């Protein structure tokens, strides 16, 4: 049966990425923690000493509660960054492992389905198996049915690849944010840089939400695909039209799932106010790289010129224009040399 196909491509990719990713994050994180520990302690001691001198001399009008709150915030920052394994436990473990895995386990606790990297392989292998089951009942000249099955395979694989890419990218970006966290936590102490710290927290939450929403979408895809595969298995082989109709419904569903997957980064960003690597940013980056040919403007004397050229298209248009003007000038010069004289005739020379 086609449904017994078992390939683990996505699980293999995750296994090859996860271990070096975790190791690299740990190295960078420990290096930054060691880097900020000494300057942070020295800065804290100097700040407390200077604040104490100002209080003794009566040159500060801040209330004691405000100073106490500021000292408490400093103590927490120093404790997180210099405590033994505190950052590892409360930032790395919480955001990278505990929170995503806990929410995933809560989602799958009511059933037998386990959502992990193998689930992405389950989606496309089941789709491949369902198509194979229908393909076996076709004759060689059923081109339309064969085309529909191929489309079903392509759409199911593409939607799975999109969801997997978004999930893996969010996980890698989350690891990057955690790795540079020791450099950003200290920014919470100063009003001018507090917004940077808050955006960092928002980005962490955004990546976690993106992972969870991708897993929820994958859970829904598995449930719907199970219905599609089950219906195909229950239908008699002679009911070709009914099987093709089920595959067409699967094509539509996978297209919808791919569209929803593209919107998930925006959903996560709108909920948390953090990172938003929407697919539209890729198009804008490509557009900015390609550039523009500019636009034509008319001067006061009636002559025209071009403004707004940029990057590749602008440079290409400028080069083509320069070549065109040069070719025109050469052509006019040659024409002036070879054209006949307009005054008199050949008989006048006699």
Going residue by residue through the chain (350 aa), what tens digit of pLDDT does each one get? 454 556 788 888 888 888 888 888 889 998 998 888 888 888 888 888 888 888 888 777 766 677 777 778 888 888 888 877 888 888 888 888 888 888 777 776 655 455 677 788 888 888 888 888 888 877 777 788 888 888 888 988 888 888 888 888 888 999 999 999 998 888 888 888 888 988 898 888 888 888 888 888 888 888 888 888 788 777 777 777 888 888 888 888 889 888 988 888 888 887 776 444 444 444 344 445 445 545 555 655 655 555 655 554 455 555 545 545 554 554 455 445 445 454 444 444 44
* 118 contacts 77 by C-beta, under 8 angstroms: no
Cα separation, 261 vs 23, whole angstroms:
29
Alpha-carbon distance of 29 to 42, in angstroms, equals 21
The residue with tokens 């994050």 is 25
Query: Minimal CA–CA distance to 232: which of 142, 159, 128, 112?
Result: 128
Q: pTM, whole model, 2 decimals?
A: 0.67
Q: Where are the domains of the chain?
A: 2-280, 291-297+304-336
């Amino acid at each position: 049966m086609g449904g017994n196909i078992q390939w683990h491509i996505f699980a293999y990719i995750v296994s090859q990425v996860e271990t070096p990713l975790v190791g690299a994050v740990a190295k960078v994180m420990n290096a930054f923690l060691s880097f900020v520990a000494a300057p942070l302690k020295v800065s804290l001691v100097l700040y407390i000493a200077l604040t104490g001198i100002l209080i003794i001399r009566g040159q500060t009008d801040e209330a004691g509660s405000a100073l106490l709150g500021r000292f408490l915030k400093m103590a927490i920052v120093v404790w997180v960054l210099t405590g033994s394994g505190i950052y590892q436990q409360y930032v790395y473990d919480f955001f990278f492992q505990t929170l995503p895995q806990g929410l995933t386990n809560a989602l799958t606790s009511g059933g037998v389905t386990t959502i992990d990297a193998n689930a992405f392989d389950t989606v496309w292998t089941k789709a491949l198996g369902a198509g194979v089951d229908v393909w076996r009942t076709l004759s060689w000249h059923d081109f339309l049915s064969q085309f529909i099955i191929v489309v079903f395979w392509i759409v199911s694989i593409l939607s799975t690849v999109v969801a997997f890419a978004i999930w893996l990218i969010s996980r890698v970006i989350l690891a990057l944010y955690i790795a540079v966290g020791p450099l950003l936590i200290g920014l919470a102490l100063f009003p001018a840089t507090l917004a940077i710290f808050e955006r960092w927290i928002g980005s962490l939450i955004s990546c976690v939400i993106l992972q969870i929403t991708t897993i929820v979408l994958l859970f829904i895809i598995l449930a719907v695909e199970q219905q599609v595969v089950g219906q195909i298995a229950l239908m008699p082989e002679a009911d070709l039209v009914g099987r093709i109709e089920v595959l067409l419904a699967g094509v539509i569903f996978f297209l919808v799932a791919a569209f929803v997957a593209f919107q998930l980064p925006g959903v996560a960003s709108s909920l948390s106010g953090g990172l938003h690597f929407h697919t539209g940013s890729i198009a804008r980056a490509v557009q900015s790289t390609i550039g523009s040919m500019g636009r034509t403007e008319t001067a006061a004397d009636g002559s025209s010129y071009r403004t707004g050229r940029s990057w590749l298209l602008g440079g290409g248009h400028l080069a083509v224009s320069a070549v065109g003007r040069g070719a025109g000038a050469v052509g006019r010069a040659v024409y002036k040399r070879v054209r006949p004289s307009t005054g008199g005739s050949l008989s006048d020379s006699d």
